[in-house]
Structure 1
C-alpha cells in the first residue's frame, strides 16, 4: 500500500544493473523494461532453502512482500508463500500474488469511513506510476483549500483487498500518514477518500524524482558532502518516526523523492505501506522489506526500529561508493551475505574517504542490532557535524529503555556504569547533553522520572498512541526513583553494547575499570554477588561467579567488571552453566 508515483510508467521497474562482479550500481544501457523472470525476495535464511534456487536468476528489483510474478518451481520460500496465502487469500501452487477473485471477499467490510466526495474535490489526471496494490495519478484540487494545487493521488482498488488483514494494512497506512504528516522530510498527506471501487489517498506531488535516479545521474555515487546532506534528511525523518513508535520497514533509495529537480531540493520519505507500530520493548516477526536492504534480524523474525537503521546503513554505503554492501546473483545468495558476510571497506573509494565516514557506515551495518546506532545517535555522529544546524535532534527512545534498565540494576552495576560513563568522548557527551536538556531539568540540574513523560507528550502524535509508546513512557515515569543529575543520567543512558562495537572499546573498558578500582571496587563474597545480581543461591551459579572475583583480594576482576556492565539475568547464567 505504499506510494507508487515515484517512477513513471515508461521507466523499467529494474533500475539497478549489476556488473556481475561486485554489485556496482550503474545506469542501465538499453533497458527493455521486461519483467525479470524471478522476483528476488524469497525470505528464508535457512540453508536448506537455497539448494533449489536457479543459478541464473538475477536479483534486479526491489519488490515488497507481496509477489506479483510466479516463482520457478520448486519454490525456495514455501513457508513465506503459506504466510502470504493466509494474509491475502489463496494462491496458486507456484504463484504468490494477491488474488483477483471475489471468493475471499465474502463478509469483508470494505467501508473505511473516508469521505466519498473525491470527485467533487479533485480532478484525476494521467497515471504516473503503478505498484503492487494500486497506481498513482496526477491530480488537481477543484475546490476548498487545495483548489488549483497539483497533487499526487494514490488509487487503491478495493478488489485488491481480499482479506481482513489487507484491509487493515490500507487503514494503517492512512492512519500513519495522517498522524505523521508535517515533518519537512515526509511526504505531505492531504486527505483520504473512498467510493464503491477505490480508496484515494491525496498527497503532496514530488516532481524531483527518486534518490535512486539522482544516484544514477551522478555516475553511481555521491561526494561525502552531498552524501551528508542526504543522510541528515533521511535520519531526521526516521528519528521522528521511531520516536512515535513507527518502523518504516522498506527504506531504500526508491522510497525517497526530491520535491523538485533543483539540486538542493528537500528529500521526502514515501511509501508507508509496509510500516507498522512497535513499542520500545516489543519485537516484530513478519519478514517484509526489500532484499538488498533487509536487516539480519528481520530474517531471524525478531526486530524493531533498529532494522530501519540497517537499511539506512546500506543506503549510506551505496551513496559513498556506488556499490551494494551485500550482493549475489540470487535472492538466496543475498540473504546469505546479509546474514554471514561483512561489507568491504578495502577497495576504492573507501581508502580515500574520511575515517569518520567509514566509522559511520560500519556502526550502522553491524549485524548485532544492539550495537547499531539509533537515528538520533547517527545525527550526532562526528561525520555529520555541522550538517544539521537546522534540524533538531529528537528524543531518543533508547534512552528510556536504558534508564529503566539502570534503575532496576544492582548498586554494584550502577557503580560500574558510572565509571564507564566517565570515559565518554566529547561527541558522546554532546549527544547525552542534548538528550538531557530535552528532559527539561530543574534549575538545580536534576530530572525526575516524570520529566520523561512530560518530554514525550510535547511531541506525541496519534501514531504514538496507536503504537502504545505512551504506555511504555507511563511505565518509566511511574517508577519511584530519586532525582537524577547529568552525571548519573550519563551512567544510566549509556549503551554498553554500542560502546563495545567501537574500536576504542578496550580503552573504554580498561579506563573504566581503573576508575572502578579506585572508587567502587571492594571485597565481595560470592553469596553477596549472587544476591546483588538477583540470582538464587545454587552451587552451579557459584561456580560461574568464581571467575568474576579475584582470588587474591576478593574484589571484582576485569572479566567480572565487563560482564557486570552488560547486565546479567538468570537466563544468561543458564547458558553459561557447565553441562
Structure 2
C-alpha cells in the first residue's frame, strides 16, 4: 500500500529481481475487471514476488501506507461502467501528505492534514551526543524517509561494538503526523525489551539535521532474500522453524499491547548468515499501542499483507496474524495468496476472494499445514487464531517442543465471560465439555502459565503475577493492567480449570471449524440435561441486558420452545455468542 514505483520496461521472467518490479497498470474500467480476478497468477511472477518495495531500505520502498480514518468503506461496488473505487488513491495521497511529499492543494486530503511547511517543533528530547559516541560507517540501506548505516561504538557499554543506525532526516518531517510517527517508533522500541526475536534497541539521538536510532546490527539479510534464494519455496520443516520464531515475537508484542501493522518478509532479518540463525522483527515505524478492548482505524501496512479489517477501518492485533498467514502461505507454496495488477485490485482480492489451495504444491502438503494457513487467513478476525494459539496448532507442536506464551486473548474472553449472564455461563460450560484434546491443549497451557495453586485453581493475584513476570513498559502505554479491573470478581472467588475452559473459550473460533455443528449439538444435549430450564421471555431479556424499548417478544420468541418454555437449540447457539441488542434487533 502507498506510493508505488515501477520500471517502464517489461520484466525479464527469468530474473527474480526483475519480477519484483512488475509494471503497475494504470487503473481503468477494463483492467479493473482483470484485476478483480485476483486468483490468477501473473505471468511475470514465476515465483513469489512481494510488494513493489521488496527491500526494507530500497530506494523504491514506499510500498507501505498510512491513512487516517474516513467515513466510507473501501470496496463498495457501483454499477457499470464505473469501476469500484480505489482505496489506493486516497491512501497514496495521504501517505505523501503525511510526510510532506505533496505540495499543498496537490491532492484532496480529508480530515485536516497539516500543510507542508507548517511551523513544527522537531525537538524530541533525545541526547545530542551521537558523534561523540559512535563512528558512522557505510550505508547499508535506504528507505523513503531515511537510511541505515553501520556504526561502531566509541565509548560506553557499546565501545568497539558494531551497531545499526537508522538515520531519519528532520527535513523529511514536514507534518506533525510524521514527527509523531518517529516519536512513537522510538517509544515502542524502548518499551519492548527482552525478546530474542526482536531487534534490540540501544538508544536514540538527535541533532539539528537528523534523528539517530541505534539498534542491533543484523548481518544475515532479510527473510525475503532467503525466500528468493530458495526459488520461492520452503519445505514444511523449514517453514515451520521460521513460523515459530515469527509467531513467538508477534505473540509477545500483542501481549504487551503493541500491534506491528507492517509484518512482511522484508521486516524480518536474520542475525547472521548461518542457516540456523535467529530471526529478528524490525521496523516499528507504523506500529502502535492498542488497548485490549479497543480498535484502531488507520489504514496502514503493505498491500499484499494487509488484513481485510484494516481496509474496513476497525481492527486490533488480529490484523498482524493475517499478515503472518500471508507469510506462511508464501513460505509453503512460493506465491502470494492475493494478487492483482493494481493495489486497488489487491485490496478487492483481500476483501472478496479466498486463497487457492488447489494448485501445486498444496495437494502434496500435509492437511495440517493447509489447516494452519487457512485458520490464519480467515477473513473474520474473531474466527482467526491468535499468535499464541497458532503455536499450539498441531502442525507446529507435533514436530517441535514449543514454549507457549501467555495470550492476551485469554483475558479478553475471560472479561466477556465474567460479565455474562448466569444462563450464558451455563451454556459456555456445556460447550467447553465438547472440546477435543487438541483444543484443550491450548487452554491447559494457558491455565498452567497462570500458575494455579495446589488445589488447581486461580484467583486475580495469579493473573496479575503472570502478567507482571513478562511485562514491559509497553504494557503501561497500552493500559493492559487497567484491563484487569474487568476480572475483579476473581478477587473474591477461585476459578478451576473446568470453568477456565468455559471462560477462555472462543465461540467464534469454534464456529469456523468444520465440526462446529457437532460441537453445538453435543453441547446442547449437555445443556438440556444440566442447565436448561423453563424461562420466560422477559427473564431471558433481562439475562441478556435488553432495553425495555426493544420488542423482546418479536426478537426472542424463536429462542424459547413453546412446548415447555425451555431454551431452543437456536436460542442456545445465539446465547453462546453473547448477542448484543443491536444483533438481536437484526433477528426480527
TM-score band by shorter chain is 0.7 to 0.9
Query: What is the match of residue 439 of structure 2?
Result: 428
Per-residue Cα deviation, 1:190-231 (whole angstroms, up to 9, x for no partner): 111111111111111111111111111111110000000000
| 1:427 Cα deviation from its structure 2 partner | 2.1
Per-residue Cα deviation, 1:316-361 (whole angstroms, up to 9, x for no partner): 0000011111111111110110000011111111111111111110
Query: What is the match of residue 169 of structure 2?
Result: 157
Q: SS of 1:423's equivalent?
A: coil
* 8 Å CA contact retained: 2:296, 2:315: yes
| 1:475 Cα deviation from its structure 2 partner | 3.8
| 2:309 counterpart (297, 302, 318) | 297
* 8 Å CA contact retained: 1:186, 1:237: yes
Query: Are 2:499 and 1:488 equivalent residues in the alignment?
Result: yes
| 1:537 Cα deviation from its structure 2 partner | 4.7
The TM-score with structure 2 as length reference comes to 0.85
* 8 Å CA contact retained: 2:65, 2:299: no
Query: What is the match of residue 159 of structure 2?
Result: 147
In the TM superposition, 1:241-260 aligns within 5 A as: 241-260=253-272
Q: SS of 2:300's equivalent?
A: coil
In the TM superposition, 1:25-104 aligns within 5 A as: 25-26=47-48, 45-47=74-76, 77=88, 79-80=90-91, 83-84=94-95, 87-89=98-100, 91-92=102-103, 104=116
More deviation in 450-459 or 263-272? 450-459
Query: What is the match of residue 514 of structure 1?
Result: 525
Q: SS of 1:288's equivalent?
A: strand
Query: What is the match of residue 396 of structure 2?
Result: 384
Query: Are 2:32 and 1:20 equivalent residues in the alignment?
Result: no
Query: Are 2:239 and 1:235 equivalent residues in the alignment?
Result: no
| 1:247 Cα deviation from its structure 2 partner | 0.2
CA distance in 1, matches of 2:21, 2:283: 19
Query: What is the match of residue 67 of structure 1?
Result: none
Query: What is the match of residue 278 of structure 1?
Result: 290
CA distance in 2, matches of 1:432, 1:76: 40
CA distance in 1, matches of 2:173, 2:445: 45
CA distance in 2, matches of 1:225, 1:95: 48
Query: Are 2:410 and 1:399 equivalent residues in the alignment?
Result: yes
Query: Are 2:424 and 1:419 equivalent residues in the alignment?
Result: no
| 1:478 Cα deviation from its structure 2 partner | 6.3
Query: What is the match of residue 121 of structure 1?
Result: 133
CA distance in 2, matches of 1:137, 1:37: 17
Per-residue Cα deviation, 1:521-572 (whole angstroms, up to 9, x for no partner): 1222222222222224568321221111222222211111111111122112
Query: What is the match of residue 202 of structure 1?
Result: 214
* CA distance 1:143–1:52, shift in 2 (3 Å): farther
CA distance in 1, matches of 2:560, 2:261: 44
CA distance in 1, matches of 2:78, 2:189: 37
Query: What is the match of residue 187 of structure 1?
Result: 199
CA distance in 2, matches of 1:569, 1:54: 36
* 8 Å CA contact retained: 1:17, 1:25: no
Query: What is the match of residue 5 of structure 1?
Result: none
| 1:123 Cα deviation from its structure 2 partner | 0.9
Q: SS of 1:314's equivalent?
A: helix
Query: What is the match of residue 7 of structure 2?
Result: none
CA distance in 1, matches of 2:154, 2:79: 54
Q: SS of 1:203's equivalent?
A: strand
* CA distance 1:266–1:246, shift in 2 (3 Å): same
CA distance in 2, matches of 1:112, 1:396: 34
| 1:219 counterpart (231, 246, 252) | 231
* 8 Å CA contact retained: 1:22, 1:324: no
| 1:510 Cα deviation from its structure 2 partner | 1.2
Query: What is the match of residue 556 of structure 2?
Result: 545
Per-residue Cα deviation, 1:410-461 (whole angstroms, up to 9, x for no partner): 1111111001101111122121111112212121111123322222122111
Query: What is the match of residue 62 of structure 1?
Result: none
* CA distance 1:512–1:76, shift in 2 (3 Å): closer
CA distance in 1, matches of 2:115, 2:437: 63
CA distance in 1, matches of 2:61, 2:502: 54
* CA distance 1:324–1:481, shift in 2 (3 Å): farther
> RMSD between aligned alpha carbons?
3.2
CA distance in 2, matches of 1:539, 1:149: 67
Q: SS of 1:302's equivalent?
A: coil
Query: What is the match of residue 11 of structure 2?
Result: none
Per-residue Cα deviation, 1:120-157 (whole angstroms, up to 9, x for no partner): 11111111111121000111112222122121111011
Query: Are 2:333 and 1:321 equivalent residues in the alignment?
Result: yes
* CA distance 1:539–1:371, shift in 2 (3 Å): closer
| 1:576 counterpart (581, 584, 587) | 587
* CA distance 1:37–1:267, shift in 2 (3 Å): closer
The TM-score with structure 1 as length reference comes to 0.86
* CA distance 1:53–1:210, shift in 2 (3 Å): farther
| 1:575 Cα deviation from its structure 2 partner | 2.1
CA distance in 1, matches of 2:336, 2:118: 45
Q: SS of 2:495's equivalent?
A: coil
* 8 Å CA contact retained: 1:45, 1:332: no
* 8 Å CA contact retained: 1:42, 1:77: no
More deviation in 352-361 or 227-236? 352-361
- Equivalent pairs counted in the alignment come to 542
Q: SS of 2:503's equivalent?
A: helix
Query: Are 2:352 and 1:340 equivalent residues in the alignment?
Result: yes
| 1:474 Cα deviation from its structure 2 partner | 3.6
More deviation in 80-89 or 272-281? 80-89
CA distance in 1, matches of 2:79, 2:461: 52
Unaligned runs of at least 5 residues, structure 1? 1-10, 56-73
Query: What is the match of residue 8 of structure 2?
Result: none
| 1:515 Cα deviation from its structure 2 partner | 1.1
* CA distance 1:456–1:345, shift in 2 (3 Å): same
| 1:185 Cα deviation from its structure 2 partner | 0.5
Query: What is the match of residue 377 of structure 2?
Result: 365
Q: SS of 1:503's equivalent?
A: coil
Query: What is the match of residue 477 of structure 2?
Result: 466
CA distance in 2, matches of 1:338, 1:103: 33
Q: SS of 1:371's equivalent?
A: coil
| 1:35 Cα deviation from its structure 2 partner | 8.1
